[in-house]
Copies of this chain bind each other. A is one copy, B any other.
Amino acid sequence: MDSSSRRRATRAKLYEAAVTLIAEQGFSATTVDEIAERAGVAKGTVYYNFKSKTELFEELLRFGVGLLTASLQEAADRTAERGGSKVEALDAMIRAGLVFIDRYPAFTQLYVAELWRTNRAWQSTLLVVRQQAVAVVETVLREGVEAGELSEEVDIPLTAAALVGMVLVAALDWQAFQRERSLDDVHGALSLLLHGRVSGRRD
C-alpha cells in the first residue's frame, strides 16, 4: 500500500517534469537527465519506474488524455442531467476543453505536436487515445442529429474533428499569442461559431 503510493508520487513528479520539458522542446530534444533533475529525483529512479524514455512518454499521453476525456464526458453528462439540449452539451464541452487547456497548457501543446506525426514509436498509443477523445464529441453529435436537433446534413466524424480542432487551436493561440483575453472571451467566440451566429442576422 505505502510503497506503491510512494511510487505513484514519484511517477507523478516525473510526468509533471516531462510534460513541461517535452512541450517546450519536443521529445527528442529533451534529455532524461533534464527530466530527472526537474523532477528532483535521480536518473536511476526514472529507469526504476519506467522501461525507457519512450515508455514514460506513452504513459504520460495515456494519463493526460484520460483526464481530458473524463472532463469532456462529465460536461456532457451534467448538461444531460439538467435536461439541456445537445447544442448546450456541445457548448459545455467547448468550455470544459478550454478549462482543461487553461489548466494543462503544456500537455495540450505536446499532444497537438505529436498527433499527426507518422512513423513514431508511440503512433499506436496516440491513435487509441485520440479515438477516445473524439468519440465523446461524436456521440453527442449523433444524439443531436437523431433527436432532430442538429441538421441531418452534419457529417459526424468530420464535424467532430473540426470542432475539436477549433477548440484546440483557438485555445493554444489564446495561450501563446493572445494572453490578455479571458476564458470567457474565447468561449464566446467559439460559441458564436457553434450556434451559427457569425454570418447572417437572426434572433
| A interface residues with partner B (beta carbon < 8 Å) | 23-29, 87, 109, 112-120, 127, 130, 144, 148-151, 153-155, 157-159, 161-166, 168-170, 172-178, 181, 185-186, 188-190, 192-201
Beta-carbon contact of A162 and B189 below 8 Å: yes
A199-B25 Cα distance, complex, nearest whole Å: 40
Q: How many copies does the complex hold?
A: 2
Closest residue of B by beta carbon distance from A131: B177
On whether A173 and B165 interact (CB within 8 A), knowing A116-B113, A117-B24, A197-B196, the answer reads yes
Q: When the two chains form their complex, are residues B170 and A165 in contact, meaning their CB atoms are under 8 A apart?
A: yes
Q: Please, how many angstroms separate the alpha-carbon atoms of A197 and B26 in the complex?
A: 39
Nearest residue (CB) in B for A172 is: B116
Q: Which B residue's beta carbon lies closest to that of A186?
A: B158
- Find out whether the CB atom of A170 lies under 8 angstroms from the CB atom of B162: yes
Given A26-B117, A196-B198, A196-B200, CB of A157 within 8 Å of CB of B169: no
User: Per a CB cutoff under 8 Å, which of B120, B151, B176, B188 touches A198?
Assistant: B151
A173, closest chain B residue (CB)? B161
Q: Roughly how many angstroms separate A118 CA and B22 CA in the complex, as a whole number?
A: 10
* A145 CB, nearest partner CB in chain B, Å: 10
Q: Chain B residues with Cβ under 8 A from A166's Cβ?
A: 162-163, 165-166, 169
Can you report 23 A-B residue pairs in the complex whose CB atoms are below 8 A from each other?
A24-B117, A24-B118, A26-B117, A112-B116, A115-B176, A116-B173, A116-B175, A116-B176, A151-B192, A151-B200, A153-B192, A154-B189, A155-B189, A155-B192, A157-B178, A158-B173, A158-B190, A161-B174, A161-B177, A164-B169, A165-B166, A195-B199, A196-B196
